[in-house]
A and B are shown apart, each in its own frame.
Chain A
Amino acid sequence: MSKKRVVITGLGTVNPLALNLLETWKKLCDGDSGIGEITQFDTSNVSIKIAGEVHGFDAEEIFGKQYARKLDRAGHLTLQATKDAIEDAGIDSSERLGPNCGIIIGTGIGGLSATENAVRVYDERGEKRVSPLSITQIMPNSSTGQTSIKFGIEGPSSTITTACAASANAIGEAKRLIENNFVDMVIAGGTESATSGMTISAFSQSRALSSRNSDPEKASRPFDKDRDGFVMAEGCTMMFLESEESAKSRGANIYGYLVGYGSSTDAFHITAPSEGGIGASRAMDQALEDAGLSPDKIDYVNAHGTSTKINDVTETLAIKRSFGPSAENVSISSTKSMVGHLLGGAGAFESMVCLMSIKDGVVPPTINLDSPDEECDLNYTPNNSIEKDISYAMTNSFGFGGHNAVLIFSKN
């Protein structure tokens, strides 16, 4: 049986730039930054004092206190982004989606604040005071389970935890479910809310974070020679994927097609990318092959571009390896320069960027790219967005553990 084509008909996002899709997209095109001083906890004991936080999102007000307190913040963000994606697809979010809809969510860490609270209470007050809600908030699949309950999603479900590749993997696996005719619809994306004193300390000790506390909006500067690490961020982006027949039969608006998915593993080092970006390049090659495209057809690459020394150089090598001579021509940008690193939520956010780029014909910029690193010598769309007709857009996501996931979206 031939494979079904997969389309995206709904997008929802809650992130440090904005609480909705259109405002997020406008800010990305304008080159705005969502990075600022951390307000969610006391940073006096940590050296890194900046992050991308979601502001103006009060879960108790939105969902009611009795319900909201059952979920961790990553779950709150997921419910909102999912509701927005479903409604954006033209579907009533109060109706159960049923067994013909699946759900796959990527997350790096899971319910971090619940974990930290439970540990604190256990240490201070012992077993009998640990909340019975702890496990259902701590488990990485918490958001998947709660979201399925909220929207009556009864088809296949899974939670993918390939670190910063997680939500690109989630969307890729959703493609496989639809194209192989397991279900007509899948809600997929990624969520993360893991900025705390403990994680900041842990990432900081592994020398992964930017310490540019004095100038938060300039801290995430992928491909710039003065970059000094990534900036943690929280947020959730979800999308409504369905078979082309399903979308057309109900007259849905189509953002674009998901035509290519590549997934590989470095099997090299737990944090460092494989030399020359071989693993990442293999995932790009696979995605191109899955899409039946030669690399010169790709108009835009949303890079992983974390703003760490090693990623940005290695990703440059990987793109050159996969694209050959056409690497010189393709427009590339890292939107992490504006929103920070959403970890498990990054691949879904960046997939959203690809779809909006295709829809509006705009490549959002890499901001803070003032002095390009000599080893990062491709067209990284510095500082200003450009107008460009985009038929095919690729997004790269690479995670600690050596996970690589690449997606290709198309206009037609």
Chain B
Amino acid sequence: MEVNEVFEKVKNLFVEELGIDEDKVSMESKLEEDLEIDSLGIVEVVMAFEDEFGIEINDEELSDVETVGQAVNLLHSKI
């Protein structure tokens, strides 16, 4: 799967599952500041990623992820 395909899936999850405004979601947007996803929300995001992509993400892998782009790259590397 290409990076941009992963991004489209991630964006779709954010919009459909979490109710986030489509216009806010770009590779550069920051999860906490721009998308208002708090620490509990991050756990939800991970659950959604795991279901969508059939992978597992542990807390350590996630600790450096601050932007949508970083999340997309992490997912891309695991698929």
Contacts and interface: CB of A to CB of B under 8 A. Distances in A.
A69 B16 CA distance: 12
Contact of A66 (B19, B40, B47, B51): B19
B19 A60 contact: yes
Interface residues of A, number: 13
Contacts of B20: 66
B53 to A, nearest CB: 14
Contact of B19 (A64, A131, A133, A136): A64
Contact of A69 (B19, B36, B47): B19
Chain A contact residues: helix, strand, loop or mixed:
helix
Contacts, number: 27
Interface string B18-35: 111100000000000000
B56 to A, nearest CB: 9
A3 interface: no
B19 A65 contact: yes
B19 to A, nearest CB: 3
B66 interface: no
A76 to B, nearest CB: 14
A62 to B, nearest CB: 13
A66 to B, nearest CB: 4
A348 to B, nearest CB: 29
In which size bucket is the chain B interface? Answer: 10 to 19
B43 interface: yes
Contacts of B50: 128
Contact of B18 (A60, A66, A136): A66
A372 to B, nearest CB: 52
Interface of B: 18-21, 36, 40-41, 43-44, 47, 50-51
A136 B39 CA distance: 13
A128 B47 contact: yes
A136 B47 contact: no
Interface of A: 60, 64-69, 128-129, 131-133, 136
Given A67-B19, A69-B19, 19 more contacts: A60-B19, A64-B19, A66-B18, A66-B20, A66-B21, A66-B36, A68-B19, A69-B18, A128-B47, A128-B50, A129-B47, A129-B51, A131-B44, A131-B47, A132-B41, A132-B43, A132-B44, A133-B40, A133-B44
Contacts of B44: 131-133
A138 to B, nearest CB: 13
Interface hub of B20, B36, B47 (most chain A Cβ within 10 A): B47
A64 B36 CA distance: 13
Interface hub of B19, B36, B51 (most chain A Cβ within 10 A): B19
A67 B20 CA distance: 9
